[in-house]
Structure 1
Amino acid sequence: MIRQALAAALVLAGVAGCAARHAATPAPEGLTATLDSPVDITLHWPDDAPGAAGRMVEFATQPGGPYTTLGFLPPHQTSYRHPELLPETPFYYRVRPYYGGTSGEVSVAVPADAPDLTASDPQWPNPRAVAHPGVTTAALRDDPPAAAPSGLAAKVMTADGIRFTWTDHATDEDGFLLEGKPEGAPEFTPVEVLDRDIGSCGLATLPRERSAAFRVRAFRYGALSTVAYQRTGRAPG
């Protein structure tokens, strides 16, 4: 899940650095990693994936990985700052677009005195498949609207938890993104990353998500970029 993935990325965080600027390290196909300070790196890439729903950014500290997801970004974002890193450490980065259609939106308002319904479904937070016999299916690569999830429903399970269910129509998805837009937010952003063939999951809500709209996206990945490399410097101070 994306929150756990981002938390894992923060394990590599160190102290903030000063603002010494160094040359970018280019990779073929446009991905670059710039050392903005001894412990801050910014990535840049061209907006060259027409029709993409967004991009996934990931990093590793060894040439062959394993890679850790940093985030799923909006479609036209072309930079990402990775701050406060471990000093004197190699970092390898790559980005890839993702594609796919979304379900309809559901609006959820979690009351502060919401009853605890966990006894009725103790496994409600766990991502799981849900059978829908006879459902029509399609490939995201061929027909994104027909392959998009349908029937998204939300049920408040606790004062800080929501269960989502939907119907999966895709035959070639790499996974699903649960996307949220808190009240007053300008756009949807991913809040959970799920495996393929999933039709139910739970979300432990943040305070700003107690009144929000949600949707689910079946997605497939595009081609990986080449790898951009940068090494952090000595810890400042």
Structure 2
Amino acid sequence: MRAALAALLLTTALLLAAACATPRQAPVQLTATLVSPTDITLRWQGRDPDASGQVIEFATEPGGPYTILGFLPPEQSTYTHPDLIPRTPFYYRVRPYYGQASAPVDVALGGGPYAKPESGWSEPRTIPGGPKGARPVRSEGAAPSDLTATVMQADGVAFRWTDRTADEEGFLLEDRPSGRPDFRVVAALDPDVNAFGLITLPEESRASYRVRAFRYGASSNIVHQTTKG
């Protein structure tokens, strides 16, 4: 009995030591500064190196609802929200998001030929009959697969992909126009969507695209400022 108790205590001590030795990710600390009567600048410290990016959100009531201002690269740590409504409270938070991106596809627009338009081709939708995703977003092999891009018109591209995850909070369509170094989020879609059509900007006539299933992480602290005017 005493030997078993001693072994249990030793195991507990080793587990506690390992937990103490494992570095813990510090939570993001967000601040908000009113830099003009109607402009608010946000700054934050701390980030999870495993995050794919971060999303910044605002509300005009303490409990929300929150609206997305933008999906930002993981290394960004400042954001200015400009030209706001005078004499209005604004609340902010930052959240990381996680998930793997598909392999990219390249798209060149202009001159055709174009595919025969399908009714509702540009609407986010779920095409039935494909394999049902079963993996957690943050597991190995969870990236969407089989991404295809079909040029539908001079400024329109239809995308389809295979959903491989079971717990996504949504999908992000990302592009990298020719000449730009990094991908950026151009559309945020609901869970289970596996088809979507994008109306492109002129700078996106040649671009690479990819899609990412994602989940949000823990929120930063919530900060607020009230505009003047």
Q: Is the 8 A contact 1:100 1:218 kept in 2?
A: yes
Structure 2 residue aligned with 1:173, among 168, 171, 187?
168
Tell me the amino acid that sits aligned with residue 203 of structure 1: L
* Structure-2 change in CA distance of 1:87 and 1:51 (3 Å): same
1:81 aligned counterpart, secondary structure? strand
> Given the alignment, which residue of 191, 197, 206 partners 1:211?
206
Residue in 2 aligned with 1:228? 223
> Alpha carbons of 1:191 and 1:136: their partners in 2 closer, same or farther (altered >3 Å)?
closer
The answer to whether the Cα contact below 8 Å between 1:117 and 1:158 also exists between their aligned partners in 2 is no
Alignment partners' CA distance in 1, 2:133 and 2:83: 48
1:131 lines up with 2:128 in the alignment: yes
Larger radius of gyration: 2
How far the C-alpha of 1:39 sits from its partner, in A, is 1.0
Report the TM-score, using the length of structure 2 for normalisation.
0.84
Cα RMSD for the two superposed structures: 1.6
Does 2:26 correspond to 1:31?
no
Measured at CA, do residues 61 and 136 of structure 1 come closer, stay the same or move farther in structure 2, by a change above 3 Å?
closer
Contact 1:147/1:171, CA 8 A, preserved across alignment = no
Alignment partners' CA distance in 2, 1:192 and 1:136: 21
Alignment of 1:72-111 (within 5 A): 72-111=71-110
Shift of 1:132: 4.9
Aligned-pair distance for 1:49? 1.5
* Deviation sequence 1:30-65 (CA, Å, 0-9, x none): 110011111111111113212101111111111122
Q: Give the superposition deviation at 1:130.
A: 2.5
2:17 is matched with which residue? none
Cα distance in 2 between the residues matched to 1:116 and 1:140 = 32
**For each residue in 1:148-173, what CA deviation from the matched residue of structure 2 results, as whole angstroms up to 9, or x when unmatched?**
10010000001110000000001111
Deviates more, 1:130-139 or 1:87-96: 130-139
Q: What is the Cα deviation at residue 117 of structure 1?
A: 2.6
Q: Which amino acid in 2 is paired with 1:215?
A: R
State whether residues 176 and 183 of structure 2, in contact with CA within 8 Å, keep that contact through their aligned partners in structure 1. yes
Distance 1:204 1:136, change over 3 A: closer
| Structure 1 residue 44 corresponds to structure 2 residue 39 | no
Deviates most, 52-61 or 129-138: 129-138
Pick aligned residue for 1:163 from 158, 165, 174: 158
Name the CA distance, whole Å, in 2 between partners of 1:219 and 1:198: 12
Unaligned 5+ runs, structure 2:
1-26
- TM-score normalized by the length of structure 1: 0.81
1:56 equivalent to 2:55? Answer yes
Structure 1 residues 111 and 32: alpha-carbon distance in aligned structure 2, compared to 1, 3 A threshold: same
Structure 2: how far apart are the matches of 1:69 and 1:134? 31
Name the SS for the 2:141 alignment partner. Answer: helix
Q: Hey, what does 1:25 align to over in structure 2?
A: none
User: For the Cα contact (< 8 Å) 1:92–1:228, is it kept in 2?
Assistant: yes
Runs of 4+, deviation exceeding 4 Å: 132-136
Alpha-carbon deviation of 1:210? 1.2
Name the CA distance, whole Å, in 2 between partners of 1:212 and 1:165. Answer: 16
Amino acid at match of 2:64: G
Taking the TM superposition and a 5 Å limit, the aligned residue runs for 1:113-124 are: 113-115=112-114, 117-118=116-117, 121-124=118-121
Q: Following the alignment from structure 1 to structure 2, what is the Cα–Cα distance between the partners of residues 131 and 146?
A: 22
Residue 221 of structure 1 aligns to which amino acid in structure 2? Y
Worse-superposed segment, 41-50 or 170-179: 41-50
